[in-house]
Amino acid sequence: MDFNITEEMTDWFIKRTKNHIDLVRFYGEKILYLMEDNWDEQLISEFKKRLANHDQDKLIEPNRTPYILITWNYYCKDHNIDFPLSQEVKDAMNVATGSHVRNNPHHPEYWSDREDNLIPKEDRDKFDPTSVPTIDVNSMNTLALFEMIADWCAMSKEKGTNTPIEWVHIVTGN
* Percentage of the residues of the chain whose pLDDT score is greater than 70: 77
Residue 40 half-sphere exposure toward CB, CA atoms < 13 A: 1
pLDDT at 48: 95
pLDDT at 115: 65
> What would the DSSP string read from start to end of 116-164?
S--S-SS-TTS--TTTSPPPP-TT--HHHHHHHHHHHHHHHHHH-SS-H
pLDDT at 129: 54
pLDDT at 50: 95
pLDDT band for 69, please (50, 70, 90 cuts): very high
Contact 150, 27 (CB under 8 A): yes
The answer to whether residue 80 scores a pLDDT higher than 90 is: yes
The span from the CA of 83 to the CA of 162, in Å, is 26
Tell me what the mean pLDDT of segment 64-93 comes to.
94
Tell me what the mean pLDDT of segment 56-83 comes to.
95
User: How many CB atoms within 10 Å of residue 159?
Assistant: 12
pLDDT band for 154, please (50, 70, 90 cuts): very high
pLDDT digits (tens, 9 = 90+) for 90-146: 999 989 998 999 999 998 888 887 766 556 666 655 555 555 556 667 788 999 999
Contacts of 11 (CB under 8 A, 6+ apart): none
pLDDT at 108: 85
Query: What global pTM score does this model have?
Result: 0.85
The number of angstroms, rounded, from the C-alpha of 173 to the middle of its chain's C-alpha atoms is 17
Which comes out higher in pLDDT, residue 158 or 66? 66
